[in-house]
Structure 1
Amino acid sequence: MRNFSTTELRAPLALLRLGARRYTRLVRRIFLALLLAASLASPNTATAQEDFSAWLEALRVEANQKGIPPYVTDVALDGVKPIPRVVELDRKQPESTITMAQYLANTVSDARVTRGRELLVQHKALLQRISAEYGIAPRTIIALWAMESNYGDVQGNFKVIDALATLAFEGRRAAFFRTELLEALRILAEGHIRPDAMKGSWAGAMGQAQFMPSTFRKWAADGDGDGKRDIWRSTADVFASTANFMRGLGWKGGESWGCEVKLPPNFDRLAIGPDVRKTVDIWRSRGVKKLGGAALPEIAGETSIVQPDGPGGRAFLVGDNFRAVMKWNRSTYFAAAVGLLSDRIGGAP
């Protein structure tokens, strides 16, 4: 009978200490990686390396036919391979949800507010120029910068071309990601960034503004006048691009996004929701007040009461600017966090 070493006996105990949940995630991650690796090694599966090479060549031909120069595709697509980690992240389902309190604790923290105020002062002249041009308040630009990349600190380390090629090839949402990949190649053709510097998230969201390539091509702006739209390294381009996108989404300069409110006892639950729209005067008449007891702010047009966590949760009076942020990211948590963070950074009452 074989004698096991101390190290071999210790290994199972270490795995147990990971806990059942962490161990399950680890096994699943290993399984997915092995599955993709095996599929790439097999000539009989849709994800075989031979098929990927043929798919990539067809993409190259399509890109050239659509006006992307061969020298761009030659450089950008050379050596591109599927990334197992990208496939895993794309297929991964959330294991749990968080409350709005937990979400806001992370996104609207005191540390983030303090840094945002410092950056608001540091970039005052630039922000004032961008704000005057696009009609977006400096504090809103700073808040979106914080939410998307923690002021540029977290842009993602995936090669965008490789990540998009993986997602366009592996089948799920293939058409969407193929379009984004072609847009990314056009960005390279326009000379805004080098292929090796085009980094982003696993899903292809790029730079400090976390724009998808199609969003970049439509809304990214040259804020420093150098002829390029560099949302990776140019703060001026990040601010201008953010402001231009928000203006395109319908942000109205000089108007509030909304505020947190206190609902009166026995408030009609059927009146809560983004599809119920009324003027601020009507909400006032129904006893809705700003949190703390102050009067509601003046917000033009129709407004809604939203309660992201459902009955008993925090409630917000929101207007068209909140809806504009929702077009950026379709999450009430995100939109509320942008509003609250911008208010705290800018010192709004």
Structure 2
Amino acid sequence: MPERVSVLKCLAVMAVFYLAGPGGAAPLKAETSKAETETQFRTWLDKDLWPDAKAKGISRATFDKAFSGVKLNWKLPDLVPPGTRPTTPKEQVQAEFGSPGKYFNEKTIGHVVAGGRTRAAQHARTLAAIEKQYGVPGAIVLAIWGRESGFGAVKIPYNAFEVLGTKAFMATRKEMFRKELLAALQIVQKNYIDVGSMKSSWAGALGQPQFMPTSFLDHAVDFDGDGKRDIWNSVPDTLASIANYLHLYGWQRGRDWGFEVKVPAGLTCALEGPDQGLKVADWAKMGITRVNGKPFPASELAGEGYLLMPAGRHGPAFIATPNFYVLKSYNMSDLYALFIGHAADRIGNNARGFSQEWGNVGGMYRSDIAAMQKALQAKGYDVGKADGLPGFKTRRSIGDWQAKHGQAATCFPEKSLIGAIK
């Protein structure tokens, strides 16, 4: 599954990074150490990377042009220079876990929705052709475009070979970035774009859809017919590439992504999860209804759906379809996929905001949640990984524990549960 990185997230991370300074590795003791490392980098390019590039059909001329003038970017996060060890903990257990509702900033959603509606009219013919070919609704494509790059307005300023070269040489995930670096070389070798135009985010994601280079090779398409897969400058190529990505990850033509619903008080929230799917008709028989008062579409009733409650009883609930998890393949986050689906509903169907407020829950340390997870594991509950992040397995386990102990099941970690589960 190709790694996805949101530009808006990246810019936020970099803003903090520049203020706080690099934290990924112990600083080198002297400027000469950096100079020595630069020399090691050039040797690594020539002796280590070049043979692999050559084996993949990269010409020496392309290779030399790609790395002409490229130096290590010492401002990137998660760097581990030769001779040092990572200093950033692998698990930030003392980080505060906030309410899922913080993700759904109305200003951000509003920007994506307003921009999407405007561009739905501007690119109506292109979007219709894309939906006909790939089966993905235009509103979904627009929501991703808006979320990833502000419809192409967010600047993508970095030299991709500088970023990927630096990370392949001395990042915490060197092998992954080496693979991406070789893919970037293939992109210019195949003349999809010239070296000078290969701009990326700080994490190496390319163009308006923010594809990693391997994802570009697998999913980018030439939809405007000019012979290039130009996700940097071409709107048709950008939109069609996003749709092709979702299509290849299994988007089911004709199905929605999901529906906001009301879950009866008497129905346990512990039914949540993609491993507890039922026919949408069966969820309806259990008393789950859409918040807008409309019945579930007849075309959805025989299809599988999954209960999704990201904040347990403290926030909106949804019946998600398999297409929700296709959206999640673009960025491995339930909240990201929900943001895209919700924004798309508002772009394409003039839907309103969530009917239920996100509760002001959170403010707990991840270490507290991890301790809760470990206590549940000791009692035989499946919480997934005890990492301080309350995924659906943790949420429903909490709900089951609450019900077993005579409490109202909320299916979400709360401060009152710290120490109570033991």
TM-score, scaled relative to structure 1: 0.85
Q: CA deviation at 1:27?
A: 7.8
Q: Which residue of 2 aligns with 1:6?
A: none
Q: What corresponds to 1:9 in structure 2? A: none
> Given the superposition, is the C-alpha separation of residues 39 and 226 from structure 1 closer, same or farther in structure 2, using an over 3 Å criterion?
farther
Please report how far the alpha carbon of residue 293 of structure 1 lies from its aligned counterpart in structure 2 after TM superposition. 3.6
Q: Note the C-alpha offset of 1:50.
A: 2.3
Question: Per-residue deviation at 1:273?
Answer: 1.7
Equivalent position of 1:345 in the other structure: 347
Counterpart residue number, 2:21: 29
Give the one of 29, 32, 55 matched to 1:41: 32
Give the stretch that moved more between structures: 194-203 or 230-239. 194-203
Task: Please name the residue that 1:263 is paired with.
Answer: 263
Q: Distance in 2 between matches of 1:26 and 1:79?
A: 23
| Alpha-carbon distance between aligned partners in 2 of 1:267 and 1:62, rounded to the nearest angstrom | 57
Question: In the aligned structure 1, how far is the partner of 2:30 from the partner of 2:124?
Answer: 53
Partner residue in 1 for 2:250: 250
Q: Judge conservation of contact 2:17–2:77 (CA < 8 Å) in 1.
A: no
Give, in angstroms, the shift of residue 96 of structure 1: 4.7
Query: Hey, what's the Cα distance between the residues in 2 that align with 1:27 and 1:144?
Result: 29
> Residues 262 and 75 from structure 1, CA distance in 2 versus in 1: closer, same or farther, beyond 3 angstroms?
same
Pick aligned residue for 2:304 from 298, 302, 316: 302
Distance 2:103 2:261 in 1: 19
For the residue of structure 2 that corresponds to 1:217, the secondary structure is helix
**Structure 1 position 330, deviation (Å):** 1.1
For 1:68, the equivalent position in structure 2 comes to 58
Deviation at 1:326, TM superposition (A): 1.1
> How far apart in 1 are the matches of 2:251 and 2:24?
42
Distance 1:64 1:188 in 2: 14
- Structure with the bigger percentage of helix: 1
Residues in 1 aligned to 2:149 and 2:163: alpha-carbon distance in whole angstroms: 18
How far off its partner does 1:39 sit? 7.0
Task: Label 1:153 to 1:62 Cα distance change in 2 as closer, same or farther (>3 A).
Answer: same
User: Which of 56, 66, 69 is residue 45 of structure 2 equivalent to?
Assistant: 56
Q: Is 294-303 or 206-215 further displaced after alignment? A: 294-303
Per the normalisation by structure 2, the TM-score is 0.71
Greater relative contact order, per chain length (Cα 8 Å cut-off, separation 6+): 2
Q: 1:267 to 1:200 in 2, by over 3 A?
A: same
Partner of 1:168: 168
Alignment deviations for residues 304-334 of structure 1 (CA, whole Å, 9 cap, x no partner): 0111123422211101111111111111111
Secondary structure of 2:307 counterpart: strand
SS at 2:261 equivalent: strand
Distance 1:171 1:304, change over 3 A: same
- What amino acid maps onto 2:64 in structure 1? D
CA distance in 2, matches of 1:308, 1:157: 34
Secondary structure of the equivalent of 1:142? Answer: helix
2-side partners of 1:247 and 1:115: how far apart?
A: 24
The structure-2 alpha-carbon separation of the partners of 1:305 and 1:89, relative to structure 1 and needing over 3 Å to count, comes to farther
Residue 183 of structure 1 aligns with which residue?
Answer: 183
Q: In 1, Cα distance between the equivalents of 2:134 and 2:318?
A: 26
The answer to whether the Cα contact below 8 Å between 1:221 and 1:229 also exists between their aligned partners in 2 is yes
Deviation at 1:240, TM superposition (A): 1.3
**Counterpart residue number, 1:333:** 335
Q: CA deviation at 1:167?
A: 1.0
- Rounded Cα–Cα distance in structure 2 between residues aligned with 1:343 and 1:330: 20
**Could you report, residue by residue, the CA deviation over 1:196-219 in whole angstroms, capped at 9, with x for unpaired residues?**
221121111110000000000011
Q: How far did 1:155 drift?
A: 4.8
Which stretch has the larger CA shift, 115-124 or 188-197? 188-197
Q: Distance in 1 between matches of 2:99 and 2:308?
A: 15
Q: 1:180, CA displacement in angstroms?
A: 0.4
RMSD across aligned positions (CA): 2.7
Tell me the SS of whatever aligns to 1:316: strand
Q: Any idea what SS the aligned residue of 1:317 has?
A: strand
Q: How far did residue 112 of structure 1 move?
A: 2.6
1:211 corresponding residue in structure 2:
211
Contact 1:219 1:245 in 2 (8 A): yes
Correspondence 1:312 to 2:303? no
Single out whichever of 89-98 and 279-288 deviates more from structure 2: 89-98
Q: Which residue of 1 aligns with 2:416?
A: none
Deviation of residue 33 (structure 1)?
A: 8.9
- Between the aligned partners of 1:72 and 1:186, the Cα distance in structure 2 is 9
C-alpha distance in structure 2 between counterparts of 1:140 and 1:107, whole Å: 19
How far does residue 31 in structure 1 lie from its aligned partner after superposition?
Answer: 7.0
**Between 133-142 and 97-106, the greater mean CA deviation after superposition:** 97-106
Distance 2:250 2:23 in 1: 45
Unaligned runs of 5+ in 1: 1-23
Quick one: structure 1 residues 85 and 311, their matched pair in 2 at CA, closer, same or farther if it must change by over 3 Å? farther
* Count, aligned residues: 323
Q: Which stretch of the first structure deviates more once superposed, 213-222 or 122-131?
A: 122-131
AA aligned opposite 2:190? E
Inter-CA distance 165–253: structure 2 relative to 1 (3 Å threshold): same
Determine which of 79, 94, 101 is the counterpart of 2:69.
79
The residue identity in structure 2 corresponding to 1:42 is: S
Change (3 A) 1:195 1:286: same
Gaps of 5+ in 2: 1-15, 81-87, 352-422
Q: Any conservation in 2 of the 1:40–1:49 contact (CA below 8 Å)? A: no
The equivalent residue for 2:323 is 321
Counterpart position of 1:235: 235
> Where in structure 2 are the equivalents of 1:85-100 lying within 5 Å?
85-88=75-78, 96-100=96-100
State whether residues 79 and 172 of structure 2, in contact with CA within 8 Å, keep that contact through their aligned partners in structure 1.
Answer: no
Note the C-alpha offset of 1:74.
0.7
User: Deviation of residue 297 (structure 1)?
Assistant: 3.6
Alpha carbons of structure 1 residues 199 and 98: separation in structure 2 relative to 1, 3 Å: farther
Cα distance, 1:310–1:51 mapped onto 2, change above 3 Å: farther
